[in-house]
Structure 1
Amino acid sequence: MLEKVTGLSDLKEILHDKEDEEIVFTNGCFDILHVGHVRYLQEAKAKGDLLVVGINSDESVRQLKGKKRPIVPEMERAEMLAALEMIDYVIIFTELTAKNIISELKPDIYVKGGDYKVNELPEAEVVAEYEGRIELVKEVRGASTTNIVAEISKRY
């Protein structure tokens, strides 16, 4: 499964050879994998032919979520995502947003969860520049790493 985890230059080369396929890109922290992630990724994959998932590096997760996160290190998060059949490639990025990686990859479709609004996405401007599409998929209410951590803390 680790062959699905790749760097930017290799991924650009791979995707260049897949020009006839519709490329879908999504991103997130994916700290503790849960049913919300799985449903979201299944819906994202259904939007095109290839699904590329960008995951925030450990340092960027700390900046976004606080010093106690991530719980699962970036390479383990990448490996777990790569094991999911709907995901074709995984890439780790160090920035707080996916703007740079989207600018480099230019996926046909950029997917985010329904808890976002297109006009609030920092990546929206980049996607519009190369005339890609943004699609929102349904949020699974209550399914989040934050809620799982809170429940574990409460119980133990």
Structure 2
Amino acid sequence: MSILTREEAGKLVEGLKESGKKVVFTNGCFDILHVGHLRYLNEARECGDILIVGVNSDDSVRRLKGPTRPINGEMDRAELLCGLKAVDYAVIFPEDTPVEIIETLKPSIHVKGGDYKKEDLPETVVVEKNGGEVRILTLVDGKSTSNVVKKIAENKN
């Protein structure tokens, strides 16, 4: 299984970077996987040699998205991500932002989707302080878990 603890991921990244690999990190809830996630993760993978995905814990998702989320549990979400060709490893984190996990991992590149601005991300300072780079990827318009959940609710009524 490619789901790592924070400590395992930190040691892994350190070793990979020492051997000259470019480690890419991204994060999110990834509650119901959809084509927007797939396109985003494929683009993220193209930025380097190894892609590690930080997955918000169930408690974190509830704080960010509300009491009815997540739909899928953290281990299921992480395992599904690891099953994608683009994803090498996943690590679950309990905080609401990836600042602390990024401080541990110190990735070469941190990527976020096109709906974010580099200067608005709390993690940008940490990434750049540790010699990394923040990249904003292409926005996959109209594809979101919230839209999927909304469509399911509409179809139910």
Q: Normalising TM by the smaller chain, what interval?
A: over 0.9
TM-score w.r.t. the length of structure 2 is 0.96
Q: Which residue of 2 aligns with 1:141?
A: 141
| Cα displacement (A) at 1:131 | 2.3
Work out whether 1:15 is the aligned partner of 2:7.
no
Distance 1:73 1:130 in 2: 32
Q: Which residue of 2 aligns with 1:153?
A: 153
Q: Could you list the runs of 4 or more consecutive aligned residues of structure 1 that deviate by over 6 angstroms after TM superposition?
A: none
| Cα displacement (A) at 1:96 | 0.2
Aligned length: 154
Distance 1:74 1:103 in 2: 21
Unmatched 5+ residue regions in structure 2? Answer: none
Distance 1:7 1:33 in 2: 22
> What is the identity percentage for the equivalent residue pairs of Structure 1 and Structure 2?
49
The root-mean-square deviation of aligned C-alpha atoms, in Å, is 0.7
Distance 1:40 1:135 in 2: 12
Work out whether 1:43 is the aligned partner of 2:43.
yes
1:71-82 equivalences under 5 Å are 71-82=71-82
TM-score w.r.t. the length of structure 1 is 0.96
1:5-154 equivalences under 5 Å are 5-19=3-17, 20-154=20-154
Q: What is the DSSP-based 3-state SS (H/G/I as helix, E as strand, rest coil) of the residue aligned with 1:77? A: helix
Distance 1:12 1:140 in 2: 30
Q: Which residue of 2 aligns with 1:4?
A: 2
Contact 2:58/2:73, CA 8 A, preserved across alignment? yes
| Cα displacement (A) at 1:11 | 1.4
